[in-house]
Structure 1
Amino acid sequence: MACAATARVVALWCPDWPAIAAAATADLAPTEPVAVLSGNRVTACSATARAEGVRRGLRRREAQGRCPALHVFAADADRDARLFEPVTAAVDAAAPGVEVLRPGLLVLAASGVSRYFGSEEAAAERLVDEVAAVGVECQVGVADELSVAVIAARRGTLVPPGGGAGFLAPLPVAELAAEPALAAPERGDLVGLLRRLGLRTVGDFAALPPVSVASRFGTDAVLAHRSARGEPERPPSPRRLPPDLAVELRPDPPIERVDAAAFAARALAQRLHTQLAAAAVACTRLLVHASTGNGEHLSRTWRCAEPLTPEATADRVRWQLDGWLSGRSESRPTAGIEVLRLEPVEVVTAGALQLGLWGGVGAEDERARRALVRVQGLLGGDAVQVGVLSGGRGPGERVTLLPLGDELVPAADPAAPWPGRLPEPAPSAVLAGRPAVTLEDAAGVAVWVTERGSFSSDPALLRWGRRSWRLRGRAGPWLLDERWWDPAQSRRSARAQVLLDEPKALLLIFVGGQWRVEGVYE
């Protein structure tokens, strides 16, 4: 595939950046094992920790069991961004035009640096040296497309022009979701689906016809397919938009502290998204520019795979101001910031960004997620759980509860056949405790389920604690004889539905000689 030199992209990746930043904050030696946790799960770890068996996704206790000397830190996006600013500044000094995808990963156009340093190989070596000068290790990748360059950086590879598809073809399909800065949140689900379809490598996925992918999958799958095929993408620095969408803040007094920067970031982010909403667009690349009282001008571009929400915009502005004001790089301002300007560099139609019920953009979900993560940090990883559709015959069995942040893997495959499964509709509420009740016939005699799977007599009354209801109707019972071939695990039960003399119906289960309420139909 022919590709113009100007479209080439350089990606610079710092491995295990959250762990590196956490270790630097605690003044730990680079050889110390470090892990960063979110929701009681390891999200990043150092190479030393991996050598001891620590892996992403492990629970804290298991990680510490494998490596007793492990230093554990909580995830902190502000810390990661603040400590990455010196790296960004060092690269920007050698090759202007840097764009930050996330702390630990940045990109720039290859055309300028390759001409300045003589070749792409020489440019890559120079950038590695510049980053090493600030005490950080990195890897560089070069390719025709942004996503291919990022994957190449994770392997320290310079992909020849037109070789993107060939480079990706033998890689596992999971590589398409390995970098969250370039993939939508649902990319992991796509990878799981492709594996189940037997598409194990990127080349297998790329071999599918584009029309078939577009007709059977979502928008993100189409983008992933384009990346897998090595098709051209937009370079990191296209033509800028007119300045009418930009917003500006002149704080009084000038910003000198991080807390003041956070307040300014929130206010300016809301103003920016008001402007964008009025223009029916959403921002995917954002330029943050600051001017100080001594005439200094600082700027940095942030790129996102998904359109920025007001909260995501405020986070990136706060991270950038924190990085400048903390003084960890040579670009620290010598006076307070008197002008703060946000300018959209690249936008998409507003349809790419889901609006909230009251016009917000993902605000309610993001605030709820942060609140739940905070509760989880205070009470433990298992204190906040989310439900996942699972396989089973009863409504309670079809819900798997997992700690927030864990991989959403059900206990049983919901797509598998489940003979004897309760027919639709499902109860509106499932009672975890299964409170005991009594069924009686018209003569007040207890009703049970016989060996043949029928009522011992016609039920007419249900007693639940001190209350009782007349039955207006019933269905069942349905006998369920599970694992009859294994005496140790066999279970015999029966379910029935009863309609009470008020607008309510119950799902009952007869197990161990006792009727219990399993669900409520409202």
Structure 2
Amino acid sequence: MLVLWCPDWPVVAASAAAGLPAHLPAAVFAANRVVACSAVARAAGVTRDMRRREAQSRCPEIAVLAEDPDRDARLFEPVAAAVEELVVGVEVVRPGLVAVPVSGAAGYFGGELRLVELLVDHVSGVAGVECQIGIADGLFAATLAAHRSSLVDPGCSAEFLAPLSVTELDQPGSERAELVDLLRRLGLRTLGAFAALPEKDVVSRFGSVGLLAHRLARGQDERPPHRRRPPPELSAGRSFDPPLERVDAAAFMAKTLAGRFHDGLASRGLACTRLGIYATTEHGEQLSRVWRCAEPLTPEGIADRVRWQFEGWLRAGEGVRPTAGVTRIRLEPEETVEGRSLQLGLWRGGAEPAPGQGGEHTPEAERAGRALVHVQGLLGPDSVFTAVTEGGRGPAERVRLVPWGDQRAPSPGHEASWPERLPGPSPATVFEEPVPAVVAGAEGEEVGITGRYQVTGVPRQVAIDGGPARRVVEWAGPWPVLGRWWAGDGAGTCARMQVVLEGEGPERPGGALLLRWQGNESPLWTVEGVYD
């Protein structure tokens, strides 16, 4: 790991923002304590965590600067960008400190020493700041090596860290000051002495914070680095003179632009799943629409969406249609996936592929998907839905409708064991609005549910939505659901029962119903679903 460190960066950034020359003593204060100070101020006796009054007494001419993490990060961006120009995979640890993998870059530039020389010269020349570089195994060891401008041989990080003070564990943002103070009071004054302790003893005495610090003292990483990759330019645009005012001209243009846009993504192994279409008219009007796609877009799919969008813009009614033709269009990949992660839709054109064999998009599947997207373009994104299985107790709760093109992933915990869940099989039809019903006994007396969730009589008849009563052949239940028990209003409390009705000729065949009893509502019984 290579770490590039800009010493006293909060002071450097604050001085640059305030226009102060570098030779003047300066310090950044937070809550009247020194957060960082310049080398000139340190030479006068100013140290970190010193109170403001004491710092000014030791160095009366010191410039007092306010802490501003946003300013530090903003001014450090050119430094990170300068490092990215030579090495790929930059991780900004904090403003003033970046880490990069060293192996590939060192081989490309002819060795670690040559890489260090190039980085120091390049950052100083492009960003205009001083920096120090260290190389070691692991981020922590490489950071301390950068403080000393050292290149540690592979496998020697623990040996390099051993003689260093245990106070090095208290890096900015680490919040290990209490641990370091405790280690010092216990007589563990070097990283080597702390690293020599058995790990199980460290965990039992210092907990998880001590365990992470113990890993660092032994030259290991607290976590794997998170690489920062320079974002590629993925959008594609085109200007028009004269402006586009006809849908057929837009359709012809869309084919060329879509092919260029798709090729740019494919060259980087990417595919687009959310397409942003942005246009500017001759009168300066800004038009935009984002299309979410059920699967990574092909060039034909991109061209279709551009054409459909122009139909919506150019053929809209008065007051909605733009007042002039389109002079500029830009396609933006709002969301991308790796090109190999194709998500198949509803139609595969045949049997499901065997596990591990994948599947191919068929012309039938693509035509069906394009037709559904066209419907969304005409009627809105909420006009086409597919169903996703969810967790829940009732049948209506176990299905969620997802707009076509949105991610069809179930919510976390959908496979958990839901207490009081309705036993299978689930009803084939679930009503959006429950249908009122009356459950009665053999003599017509109404059947209800007691406070102990027992039926008050044997169900023999069911009348649905004011219709004639039908005889009950079999029944099962009731199954209580004690929802919202903490509210005290009984709104979430109900019971469910299944009944099988006798058929009455071809016009009224028999069937099975899922009934729901809600004691504090009217009607007491409703038909929640129907079984096939």
**TM-score normalised by the chain length of structure 2:** 0.43
TM-score scaled by length of structure 1: 0.43
Which one has the largest radius of gyration? 2
Structure scoring higher RCO (CA < 8 A, sep ≥ 6) equals 1
